[in-house]
Amino acid sequence: MIIDQEYRDLLRTLSEGSVARRFDPYLDIDWDSPEFQIDPKDPRWILPDDVDPLGAHPWYQAQPEERKIAIGLWRVANIQKVGLQFESVLIRGMMQYAMRMPNQSPEFRYCLHEMTEECNHIQMFQELVNRTGVDAPGMRADYRATSHFWHLAAYAPILFFIGILAGEEPIDHFQKDVIRRGDDRPPALLRTMQIHIAEEARHISFAHRFLTERVKRQSRAGRAVTSLAYPIVMRWLAGAIMAPPRDMAKEFDIPRQVMREAFWRNPKSRELMRNYFGDVRMLAEELGLMNPAARKVWKALGIDGDVSRYRGEPHRVAQRAS
């Protein structure tokens, strides 16, 4: 693929950013300091009621504090586990993609930088999981069983990078919303979120621009297919990443109806889901992928809504909560 100069410049900027501003999970987090110790009775593990779908549910809010803390710690640990499982899929797929690039490709260098950072994220997330003492399984059992094959989507790069955004955007928005609240959260959790957000900004920028470069070269028929696949992949992976496995309900005897409502059947949880995708709806508009048929799919999947005015715009829920 011919790469124009503007795209080359962006890739150079992102690569240089990865060199100048990078983090190491064992240098930039003082895991053994008293401040970063994990206290399983710390009330700061309670799930926020306007960011987390389960935290917003009346059943959770009605639980005794000790039980809310235990559920919150388990959920936080599991989100970290899901994150590292997704990062492993990303690395495998991106390596397959990078190894097919020709010599002199500026995408090759940046992809390797991103994979290096994702490896560090896996170590960081796993270290936090280990220190919580929670045996978090991560994704649902069926997703864990099939995720070993997800990286094969890299042979269809547009589909694969849509999947990357579908995985990165919900976690990124969730973490930003938690930090924007300004609540007192456990330092180890906040530090991992801060590092992840800082480096994911580069990764998301690359995925947005990659899709821009690829989609504009598609045929009309190819773009029509992409417009329909885009929201389907977004909704599927958002559910895989943000909804906990059945293990959580069994561990804490959470009623099935509560789990169904929290993920994603009540109005509050559906609003939270829609808010994950303001940026990717904006990208879809920019790429000409919001045709009438695609809009119906977005709406049918419950992830339609306003588009962001700029990337990373805080949504109205976060603004009201502050």
Residue 320: its pLDDT value, please? Answer: 40
DSSP annotation string for 293-304: HHHHHHHHTT--
What CATH number should be reported for the domain whose range is 5-31+39-321? 1.10.620.20
The closest of 149, 176, 153 to 164, measured between CA atoms, is 153
Predicted local distance difference test score (pLDDT) of residue 322: 36
Residue 318 clears pLDDT 70, i.e. is over it = no
pTM over 0.75: yes
Q: What is the pLDDT of residue 1?
A: 60
Confidence tier at 319 by pLDDT (50, 70, 90): very low
Backbone phi and psi for residue 264, each to the nearest 5 degrees, phi listed first: -150, 55
pLDDT band at 168 (very low <50, low <70, confident <90, very high): very high
C-alpha to C-alpha distance for 197 and 203, rounded to whole angstroms: 10
d(CA 45, CA 48): 9
Query: Which tops the pLDDT comparison, 199 or 312?
Result: 199
Tell me the pLDDT tens digit for each residue of 219-264.
999 999 999 999 999 999 999 999 999 999 999 999 999 999 999 9
Q: Of 31-40, 76-85, 172-181, which gets the smallest average pLDDT?
A: 172-181
How far apart, in Å, are the Cα atoms of 148 and each of 93, 116, 153, 161?
10, 20, 11, 17
